[in-house]
Amino acid sequence: MLTRTGNTPRPGGTLRSSRMSGEERREIIVRIAACEFSTGGYHGTTTERIARRAGISQPYVFRLFPDKKALFLACADLCFERLAAAFENAADGLEGRPALTAMRATHQTLTADHCILLLELQLYVASAAEPDIARLVNDRRTRLRDRVQARTGVPDEEVSDFFATSMYVTTLLALGVPAPSRLWAGMKPPAALPEGRRCGCDI
């Protein structure tokens, strides 16, 4: 979940006046942008909206990122980093199929936070029309698969099944499909589905 940190201003705050390094400001803007892109998409989210939520001017955003695409690509990196970290943490101390099972369970917990869930879907949507985005997302997705396989040591077929199931679950969660639905047949839905379609991050 993209949670608020001590240095992260609330909407309407002043990020620029905060005592932090340029890299810290950059990281915070990426987190804020990730939440905005997760619901508005690449083409539907403006840098003006992101700047307003961060409490800074739009020109200041472009001091840190050359254009909106560069900011979106940074959000893509954040998304896959969070997924990889969640899988690694879940598999700590486990090997083989038990490690993969733990990763599958934590994916449902992670996507229940809604922001990473929606952002991941938006990355694939944007990739259909933007070759630069598609190249980076394909690279990061491939790296994530390789990390899961290297960590678990299970065959290709099981890794493919893991990612296929994860994407199916992500879709059901994005749609808000209730647990009694037969679309969940054979799977264990999260204890609580996210409400609505908005990112719930406290930024």
Mean pLDDT of 90-95: 95
Cβ atoms of residues 153 and 96 within 8 Å: yes
pLDDT at residue 12 is higher than 50: no
pLDDT at 11: 42
Q: What is the pLDDT of residues 148-197, one digit of tens each?
A: 999 999 999 999 999 999 999 888 888 888 878 999 888 877 666 555 44
CA end-to-end span of the chain, whole Å? 11
Angle of helix 68-90 relative to helix 22-44, nearest 10 degrees, comes to: 100
pLDDT at residue 142 is higher than 80: yes
pLDDT at 71: 99
Cα distances (angstroms) measured from residue 121 to each of 4, 15, 42: 22, 28, 11
Better-predicted residue by pLDDT, 91 or 188: 91
Calpha distance 167→158 (Å, rounded): 14
Q: What percent of the chain has pLDDT over 70?
A: 83
Mean pLDDT of 9-20: 55
Domain boundaries of the chain, sorted by first residue: 22-184
pLDDT at 100: 97
Q: Which CATH architecture has domain 22-184?
A: Orthogonal Bundle (1.10)
**Nearest to 79, CA basis, from 129, 47, 117:** 117
Q: What is the pLDDT of residues 94-104, one digit of tens each?
A: 999 999 999 99
Residue 4: which pLDDT band, with cuts at 50, 70 and 90?
Answer: very low
**Nearest to 90, CA basis, from 22, 180, 195, 166:** 166
